[in-house]
Amino acid sequence: MLKLAIKPGEKIYIGRSTLVIRADTTVTIYIDGDQPVLKDREAIDPETAETPLQRLHLLLQEIYLHGQSAQHMVSYRKLAREVEAQSDDAAGLVLRIEDWLAEGNCFMAIREIARFTRQSDTGSDI
């Protein structure tokens, strides 16, 4: 069972569903089952995914929450190459993501790209 502390207004993605917390205080929720779970801070809104880095983040999110397809992998390779070409730091990010994916841990790949995105310059085109 997964225990999460959720802030007011925060979203939780569970498989193909989205849970929005409508409360005035932080609440604790318990999730039992085998669906993938992603907190709002690791997710990216499809409407805001404009750069190759953001589109790669969104693609990893789709793979994690909805399952991997052959088309996802074609798109992944294209986006990963675009991100790698941006900088040495971005190339290192792609290597770390690929390590997580090789281990079958898409969740950690998403955490890695979310962490990188938060640390990178907001004006960057990566």
What pTM, to 2 d.p., does this model score?
A: 0.87
Rounded to a whole number of angstroms, the distance between the first and last alpha carbons of the chain is: 37
What tens digit of pLDDT does each residue of 13-66 get?
Answer: 999 999 998 989 999 999 999 899 999 889 999 999 999 999 999 999 999 999
What tens digit of pLDDT does each residue of 21-33 get?
Answer: 898 999 999 999 9
The CA distances from residue 12 to 7, 28, 57, 96, in Å, are 10, 12, 16, 25
**What DSSP designation does 46 have?**
G
- Neighbouring-strand partners of residue 17: 14
What tens digit of pLDDT does each residue of 87-118 get?
Answer: 999 999 999 999 999 999 999 999 999 999 88
Between CA 115 and CA 27 the distance in angstroms is 24
Burial (Cβ within 10 Å: 0-12, 13-18, ≥19) of residue 42 = buried
Q: What is the pLDDT of residue 117?
A: 85
